[in-house]
């Protein structure tokens, strides 16, 4: 089955359209596949979101999208690429995804936040895709849960956009609402 083309940006899409596109994307049932471990894929996802195979960047975005659909996090924290017949380790330097664009609709408790990932995936923050704002050694580590234990780091401009929204709303506790859930922006370690 061909993978649908990823939207190039969220500008012309409403949150309802984004949510529909995210819902329509059918992913392989990797959580139900349990083949024997077969070795190492020779692949790595760099901190900047670049996918590598045997030390060379994967230039075809369609290949990256395809591989991202069979990525799974194991209970021991390892990342693997899994198919019904094989399971291969993949090195992930930080998070497997980056949230590179944000779209906000509504205000306060009625707000919804959608993210476009570097792989073209769309995620609408809410109870199924919570946001976490943690303090890291190099500054804030804003994370959105993408799927099945896989996370996406919000790139700095997206984080700054969210911080501006939170400051403008001047809530008693700094944070953001999305999809009916509140996500505090408490950065204390």
Evaluate whether the domain defined by 25-92 bears CATH number 3.40.50.2300.
no
Handedness of CA 49, 50, 53, 55 (dihedral sign): negative
Mean pLDDT of 68-72: 94
Above pLDDT 90, what percent of the chain?
65
Domain with CATH 2.30.270.10 in the chain: 97-184
- The CATH class, in words, for 97-184 is mainly beta
The predicted pLDDT at position 162 comes to 95
The predicted pLDDT at position 1 comes to 39
Domain with CATH 3.10.540.10 in the chain: 25-92
Q: How much is the pTM? A: 0.84
């Amino acid at each position: 089955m061909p993978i649908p083309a990823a939207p190039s940006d969220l500008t012309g899409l409403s949150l309802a359209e984004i949510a529909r596109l995210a819902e329509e994307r059918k992913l392989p049932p990797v959580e139900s596949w349990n083949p024997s471990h077969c070795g190492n894929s020779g692949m790595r996802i760099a901190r900047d979101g670049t996918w590598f195979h045997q030390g060379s960047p994967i230039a075809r975005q369609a290949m990256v999208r395809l591989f991202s659909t069979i990525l799974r996090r194991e209970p021991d924290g390892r990342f693997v690429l899994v198919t019904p017949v094989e399971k291969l380790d993949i090195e992930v330097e930080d998070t497997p995804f980056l949230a590179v664009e944000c779209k906000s609709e509504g205000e306060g408790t009625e707000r919804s936040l959608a993210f476009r990932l570097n792989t073209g995936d769309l995620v609408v923050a809410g109870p199924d895709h919570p946001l976490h704002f943690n303090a890291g050694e190099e500054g804030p580590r804003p994370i959105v849960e993408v799927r099945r234990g896989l996370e996406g780091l919000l790139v700095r401009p997206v984080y700054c956009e969210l911080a501006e929204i939170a400051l403008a709303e001047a809530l008693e506790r700094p944070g953001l609402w999305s999809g009916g859930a509140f996500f505090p922006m408490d950065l204390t370690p």
